[in-house]
Amino acid sequence: MNLEAYKGVFVFAQQVDNVISNIAFELIGKGKELAKDLETEVTAVLVGADVKGLADELAEYGADKVIVVDDPELKEYRTEPYTHALASVIEEFKPEIFLIGATAIGRDLGPRVCARIHTGLTADCTKLDIGDFPINPVPGKEQKHNQLLMTRPAFGGNTIATIACPDFRPQMATVRPGVMQKAPKVEGAKAVVVEYNPGFTPDSKYVEIMEVVKAVTDTVDIMDAKILVSGGRGVGSPENFKILDELAEAIGGTVSCSRAVVDAGWKPKDLQVGQTGKTVRPNVYFAIGISGAIQHLAGMEESDIIIAINKDDTAPIFDVADYGIVGDLNKVVPLLTEKIKEATAKN
């Protein structure tokens, strides 16, 4: 493999029902930064049926070039035709980096493509940088420059690892939605559009889609929620939980509570976090008006980020909170909700 022949940062522009997924824009945003470090361009690869019209949007979010693979076989995602599409694009255009969203589509497509091409794929990256490998020079070993360094959590999040793919191209990585930032949209920006169709001949690897069933949104189990807005006795009354509901809605979270709240009859038991309730590990846990008794901590101390709001500065919850706010929740929470709404509206 002549590694020098591989140039450019390519991004899989995932679309579902001919709507480009946010992850595609996030990856283009990051791809642009990487391309800048490598003094090259970022190209979006758009795969589907009747999708040419979406190329402009990709340009507006920063793609310098868009390769469009348009074919009726590509209407709904299926592993084989999409793998053939991307593998053919890679062989034809030889990118040095290929980024794919770590979605239910990307985590199927990525490995199949990298196995067909014979290259390395690093999954669920939280950071991507251009650097050297080995990071520190090792005597007797060549130190390569301009390598993609892919950082990701492993072992249930207990470890952070940085991976490189020095001897194979393209260097492939999948990235979870919400990790990278979209670049600001530039209205009217245009990209070079290249149409490419490698030809699709169904074989035994093609599956048949018999039915597409769209999900009906359901109430979230607190154990599945990524953000929990949890209230304790300090909230004061069932009616006052309204301010927590509003915060939850603004931030895309779910309301949960402590045992005291369940015992008081304000909330049902399936919302209870704690020793005699549920154990949760959300990305963000708001502990509002919760003192932090051992039984409660047992149910939530593994949360990634704990934000506590309590007027008692000796409350034990502050021993585990990443960010502790000593204050009156009745004043802080509504203001917080407003400010979050402002911040998210800006994006």
Partner 1 sequence: MKIVVCIKQVPDTKGGVKFNPDGTLDRGAMLTIMNPDDKAGLEAALRLKDQYGAEVTVVTMGLPKAEEVLREAMAMGADKGVLVTDRVLGGADTWATSQTIAGALRNLEYDLIITGRQAIDGDTAQVGPQISEHLGLPVISYAQNIREINLEEKYIVVERQYDDRYHVLKAQLPCLLTALAELNEPRYMTPGGIFDAYAKEITVWGRKDLKDVEDSNLGLKGSPTQIAKASDKVRKGAGEKVTLDPAGSADYIVAKLAEKHVI
Partner 2 sequence: MDFTLSKEHEMARKLFHDFAEKEVKPLAQEVDETEHFPAGTVAKMQKLGFMGIPVPKEYGGQGCDPLTYAMCVEELSKVCGTTGVIVSAHTSLCCDPIQTYGTEEQKQKYLVPLAKGEKLGAFGLTEPGAGTDAQGQQTKAVLDGDEWVLNGSKIFITNGKEADIYVIIAVTGVKEDARGRKKKEISAFIVEKGTPGFSFGTKEKKMGIRGSATYELIFTDCRIPKENLLGQLGKGFGIAMHTLDGGRIGIAAQALGLAEGALERTIDYVKERKQFGRAIGQFQNTQFQLADMATKVKAAQLLVYRAAMAKKTQKVYSVEAAMAKLYAAEVAMEVTTKAVQLHGGYGYTREYDVERMMRDAKITEIYEGTSEVQRMVISGSLLK
Interface residue list for partner 2 (CB under 8 A) = 276, 294-295, 298
- Identify the residue among 110, 232, 234, 274 touching partner 1 (CB under 8 A): 110
Residues 300-329 that bind partner 1 (CB under 8 A): 301, 305-307, 309, 313, 318-328
Q: Which does 328 bind (CB under 5 to 8 A by kind): partner 1, partner 2, none?
A: partner 1
Number of residues counted as binding partner 1 (CB under 8 A): 90
Shortest reach from residue 337's CB to partner 1, in Å:
8
Of residues 313, 312, 309, the one with CA closest to residue 330: 309
Strand-pairing partners, residue 231, are 257, 288
Grouping H, G, I as helix, E, B as strand and the rest as coil, residue 7 is: coil
Rounded-to-integer distance, Cα 247 and Cα 263, Å: 23
Q: Do β-strands 19-20 and 15-16 pair in parallel, antiparallel, or remain unpaired? A: antiparallel
Q: Which does 18 bind (CB under 5 to 8 A by kind): partner 2, partner 1, none?
A: none
Rounded-to-integer distance, Cα 66 and Cα 58, Å: 8
Grouping H, G, I as helix, E, B as strand and the rest as coil, residue 221 is: coil
Between 188 and 265, whose beta carbon lies closer to partner 2? Answer: 265
Shortest reach from residue 167's CB to partner 1, in Å:
7
Residues 20-79 that bind partner 1 (CB under 8 A): 76-79
* Dihedral pair phi/psi, residue 279, rounded to 5°: -100, 125
Rounded-to-integer distance, Cα 319 and Cα 310, Å: 12
Q: Which does 104 bind (CB under 5 to 8 A by kind): partner 2, partner 1, none?
A: partner 1
Of residues 98, 94, 107, the one with CA closest to residue 128: 98
Shortest reach from residue 58's CB to partner 1, in Å:
20
Shortest reach from residue 138's CB to partner 1, in Å:
11
Shortest reach from residue 275's CB to partner 2, in Å:
8
Between 236 and 316, whose beta carbon lies closer to partner 2? Answer: 316
Q: Which does 276 bind (CB under 5 to 8 A by kind): partner 1, partner 2, none?
A: partner 2
Q: Which does 325 bind (CB under 5 to 8 A by kind): partner 2, partner 1, none?
A: partner 1
Rounded-to-integer distance, Cα 216 and Cα 312, Å: 42
Rounded-to-integer distance, Cα 58 and Cα 55, Å: 5
Between 53 and 215, whose beta carbon lies closer to partner 1? Answer: 215
24 Cα distance to chain centroid: 11
Between 132 and 301, whose beta carbon lies closer to partner 2? Answer: 301
Q: Which does 146 bind (CB under 5 to 8 A by kind): partner 1, partner 2, none?
A: none
Q: Are residues 151 and 128 in contact, defined by beta-carbon separation less than 8 angstroms?
A: yes
- Identify the residue among 120, 274, 277, 292 touching partner 1 (CB under 8 A): 120
Shortest reach from residue 294's CB to partner 2, in Å:
5
- Identify the residue among 105, 271, 273, 288 touching partner 1 (CB under 8 A): 105
Q: Are residues 94 and 65 in contact, defined by beta-carbon separation less than 8 angstroms?
A: no
Shortest reach from residue 317's CB to partner 1, in Å:
10
Residue 138 is encoded by which pair of tokens? 């090792």
Q: Are residues 6 and 165 in contact, defined by beta-carbon separation less than 8 angstroms?
A: no
Q: Are residues 296 and 234 in contact, defined by beta-carbon separation less than 8 angstroms?
A: no
State yes or no: residue 210 binds partner 1 (CB under 8 A). Answer: yes
Between 151 and 275, whose beta carbon lies closer to partner 2? Answer: 275
Stretch that binds partner 1, among 60-68, 154-162, 256-264, 271-279 (CB under 8 A): 154-162
* Dihedral pair phi/psi, residue 256, rounded to 5°: -135, -175
